Chains A and B, each alone.
Chain A
Amino acid sequence: MDRRSLIRALGGAIVAAAALPKLAWAAWSSNAMKAGESTAAMNELFGTADVVASAEVKLKAPEIAENGAVVPLEVSTDMPAEQIAIFVDKNPSPLVMTATMGAGATGLVKTRVRMGESSNVVAVVKSGGKLYSASQEVKVTIGGCGG
């Protein structure tokens, strides 16, 4: 299922779903994005939730978030990576983002995410068609010292 046929398949859905804007590039994986639970989101995104924890995947995440609205995350791997996805288990929609490595891209993604509450953060790397993961518990505290 390469990208072009994916778009054609989704293209049909989009037209059926009335006046959504015609997306020129990779379609937005709405089923995966809307899934309310990590495993379901993973299944929607990758077609499987069969993932193995691996030291090859490095997830840099804070133990205690300075601010739940801006949690800096970094996922990196030396494996040849096709896709990287980040899940925050306890978020309303756990799939936070997914990145597809294009021509020459290395296995690296940095971003800043929102976390509603303390939760396990899972990074999944797709390499050679298989899924590898790393995870870490990130605590989110109620900010502020008075008031």
Chain B
Amino acid sequence: MKKLTQLGILVSVAVSAPALASPEQDRATFEKFYESRFPQVAEGDFINGVYSILPAAREQWEAIEEFPPYEVAIELGEEIYNTPFANGKSFADCFDTPAQRENYPYWDSERGKVVTMEAAINECLVENGEKPFKTKKGKLAEVSAYMSYESRGQTINVQIPDDPAALAAYEQGKQLYYTKNGQLNFACSDCHMYGSGLNARAETMSPSLGHTSHWPVYRSKWQDMGTLHRRFAGCMTNVRAKPYKALGEEYSNLEYFLTYMSNGLEFNGPGARK
């Protein structure tokens, strides 16, 4: 009788094998796409975004990196990180070490949602009776800049547990990445995959491999720090779509998908961009 049931299980697994490729197959195909499109990019250099494919722009970026504008935010973030809340606790009580990037984003099975590092920062505040930070810039970007700086060199290693809800969140992020939106009718992949290396006006489209390794970012256009979700919202506005909420489900799932696509690369935030 035991043999029969084993056979039964075997059959059912084969039948219900997902028609969709697995996340790991997606990642391998994603990586191969960029490595064949930009063979000149050295191993692991995609974490430097468009500067991995534009030598002239990279020179200017390196001049800025000599004394990058995000250093101010790192210092402010460290101060906030160590300043006790009203109840005497501080961020050090929520996180065993500030170097947390390698643990995020992760699938929280109890709450059934993707948790990003920025969301965890705000949750720590709320748990300690403090008001959460604004979700795109300011203190959240500063604390995140400090934690990202401390995490430099950690390997990107997003896990998708064997939980249908986690896989669904990954698939939603993936779908958003390939879905056309806004009056200009663009999908992220139109510019950052099939258009990567080409120009929109005078801007060269950065490749998506390594896209989420170097956040938060000081953009000279903003003259300010900004989180990854601020950039997602900015890009959707560019294509004339109404952006989703920062730290909301859509952008958290997109970050889950995009960061998974860069598994194996290194975190090198915070970053400086144009």
Known: A70-B64, A72-B60. A141 touches B274 (CB 8 A): no
Chain B, 185-223, CB within 8 A of any chain A CB:
186, 191, 200-203, 205, 220-221, 223
Docked CA distance A96–B274 (Å): 21
Inter-subunit contact B220/A146 (CB<8 Å): no
A147: interface (CB < 8 Å): yes
Q: Give the residue among A112, A141, A144, A146 with the most B Cβ atoms within 10 A.
A: A146
Given A145-B238, A146-B240 in contact, is the A72-B63 Cβ separation under 8 Å? yes
- Collect the chain A residues with CB atoms within 8 Å of residue B66's CB: 110
How near does chain B come to A102, taking the closest CB pair, in angstroms?
21
> Considering the chains assembled together, what is the distance between the CA atoms of A99 and B184 in angstroms?
48
Q: CB-defined interface of A112-147 with B at 8 Å, one 1/0 digit per residue?
A: 100000000000000000000000000001111111
Considering the chains assembled together, what is the distance between the CA atoms of A110 and B45 in angstroms? 27
- B56 contacts A64, C-beta separation under 8 Å: yes
Q: Nearest-CB distance from A64 to chain B (Å)?
A: 7
Shortest CB distance B197–A (Å) = 14
**B239 on the A face (CB < 8 A):** yes
Count of residues in A whose CB is under 8 Å from the partner chain: 20
Inter-subunit contact A62/B221 (CB<8 Å): no
Could you list 23 examples of A-B contacts with CB < 8 Å? A62-B60, A64-B56, A64-B202, A66-B60, A66-B220, A70-B220, A71-B60, A72-B64, A74-B63, A112-B64, A141-B201, A141-B202, A143-B202, A143-B203, A143-B274, A146-B184, A146-B186, A146-B200, A146-B235, A146-B238, A146-B239, A146-B240, A147-B238
Verify if A69 is at the interface (C-beta below 8 Å from B): yes
Going nearest first, the 6 A-B pairs with the smallest beta carbon separation are: A146-B238, A141-B202, A72-B63, A145-B200, A145-B203, A70-B220
CB contacts (< 8 Å) of B63 on chain A: these are 72, 74, 110
Could you list 4 further interchain pairs (A-B, Cβ under 8 angstroms) beyond the known A64-B202, A67-B274, A145-B191?
Answer: A62-B56, A70-B64, A72-B60, A144-B221
A56 within 8 A of B: no
Contact with A along B216-233 (1 / 0, CB 8 A): 000011010000000000
- Whether A142 contacts B223 by the Cβ 8 Å rule is no
Question: Which residues from chain A contact B220 at a C-beta distance below 8 Å?
Answer: 66-67, 69-70
